[in-house]
Amino acid sequence: MCPLGTSPLPRRAFAADALAGGSRVVVDERFSITIPSGFVRLSRGGVGGSNTLLSAGDFRGAIRETGAATTLSVQRANASAVAAPQGDEAAALTAAANSLASLRDEQSALGGGCPSAVLPGTVDLRGGILRFEMATPLACIPGSAAQAPNELLRHTAVRAAWSGGGVLLLFAGARQTEWLGGAGEALTAAADSFAPL
C-alpha cells in the first residue's frame, strides 16, 4: 500500500520550458507550476513515495546541521485520507489545514512525533484552493513549533485542491533561516503559480 493510501500512479512525462531568470514551468496532465531558479527536478518518490508527482529543490545548502533543503513537492492523495473543508468558514478551513499538516507530519522522518503548527492568519480559500503556511520543528523540543529556533524550524507553504475523488497537494518549504533570507519569497511565488488542470 502506498503511504497516502492510494495506488501507485503511472509515470507521466513532464514538459519543462525555460523562463526568464532561470525559472521553469512544469506541466503535468494534472497540474502546472513554475519552479524557482536553481531548483533541480528529482525523479518521482521522496517524502510522499509513489504518490509524489513532482519533487524539486535547491540542494546546494542541504548538507548542514539538519540536512534540510529548500524543496517543493506535488503529491496526490485519496480524498478519503484528507477531507475537503466543509464550507468556507474559518473553522472549517483551519480544520482541513490541520489535517493536511498532520498528514505531512506522518510522512516526515520524525514520524509525526514533532507536530507542525498551522500559522495563524495564513489559512484561506482562493479559487477552490486551500492555502496556508505551517511551521515544523526539525528536532523534537519541548513546547510548540513556534518556540523552536529558526535553524531548527521548517516553514512550508501548502496548497490543496480537491477534485475527482482525490486531492492535489503542494508543499513548498525551507528552513526558517532560508525562508526569511529570500527562499520564502521564491517558494510562495511557486506555490501561488500552482494550478490544478
Per-residue pLDDT of the chain (197 residues; tens, 9 = 90+): 233 333 333 333 344 444 434 577 888 888 999 999 888 887 655 555 678 888 888 877 655 545 567 889 999 888 877 778 887 789 899 999 999 988 888 777 665 567 888 999 999 999 999 999 999 887 776 555 556 666 778 899 999 999 878 899 999 999 898 899 999 999 999 999 999 98
The residue written with cell numbers 514520524 in the block is: 111
The reported pLDDT for the residue numbered 163 is 84
**Who's near 168: CB < 8 A, 6+ residues apart?**
30, 31, 53, 74, 75, 76, 160, 161, 196
The reported pLDDT for the residue numbered 58 is 85
**Who's near 132: CB < 8 A, 6+ residues apart?**
93, 97, 100, 118, 119, 122, 123, 124, 157, 158
Q: Could you state, in order of their start, the residue ranges of all structural domains in the chain?
A: 15-196
Counting DSSP H helices and E strands in the chain, the numbers are: 3, 12
Architecture of domain 15-196: 3-Layer(aba) Sandwich (3.40)
The predicted model scores a pTM of 0.81
Point out which residues pair with 32 in neighbouring strands.
Answer: 27, 195
The reported pLDDT for the residue numbered 68 is 66
The amino acid present at 176, given as its one-letter code, is Q
